[in-house]
Amino acid sequence: MAVGIGFICYYRLRLLPVASGKLERWPWIGLFHCELWFRFYWFLTVICRWNPVYRFPHKNRLSLRYEKELPDVDIFVCTADPSAEPPSMVMNTVLSVMAYDYPPEKLNIYLSDDGASELTFYAMLEASSFSKQWLPFCKKFIVESRSPEAYFRAAVEPDSHHPLTLKHWLLVKVFVSFLT
């Protein structure tokens, strides 16, 4: 809207009639002043009505309110070559997807291994046993970086004031170091 008003102003100033008689200029100048007044009036009304609204979703409230209405989600993780895509990377991807904050009964994860690698199969067997430790750990300590490798690469060891927390953290870290 403001760009259009600016173009009209440019048009009026650029094509101001330069005739020998001043009689032809006065309607043009009068129209230009009326448009200036309406530009000023439009600007004031926009400023007075300006009321930005900032909305922030609360994840906890949404999941409590709409959990029964959430659709089923199918996630496909594809891999083909264990030398190009290390099984530890595929395992971290699958574990991070399993740790999504989404109802588990509505989340389906499929692994497509086009190379039919035995190494990837063995890594997924290990990941399934590790998931029994990792998924409760993510929920209990509200882990945001849900990939085990990324989490322990950036994580700082917890305080020794909470021996149970430290014990659980070290147990999961040992599992991750064993798997990678």
Q: What is the CA angle 121-177-142, rounded to 5?
A: 95
Residue numbers belonging to the annotated binding site for UDP-alpha-D-glucose: 85, 114
Beta bridge partners of 111: 77
Q: What is the CA angle 126-79-145, rounded to 5?
A: 60
Distance CA 108, CA 97 (A): 10
> Would you state the structure tokens that stand for residue 31, as one six-digit string?
């129209």
Distance CA 33, CA 49 (A): 24
Residue numbers belonging to the annotated binding site: 85, 114
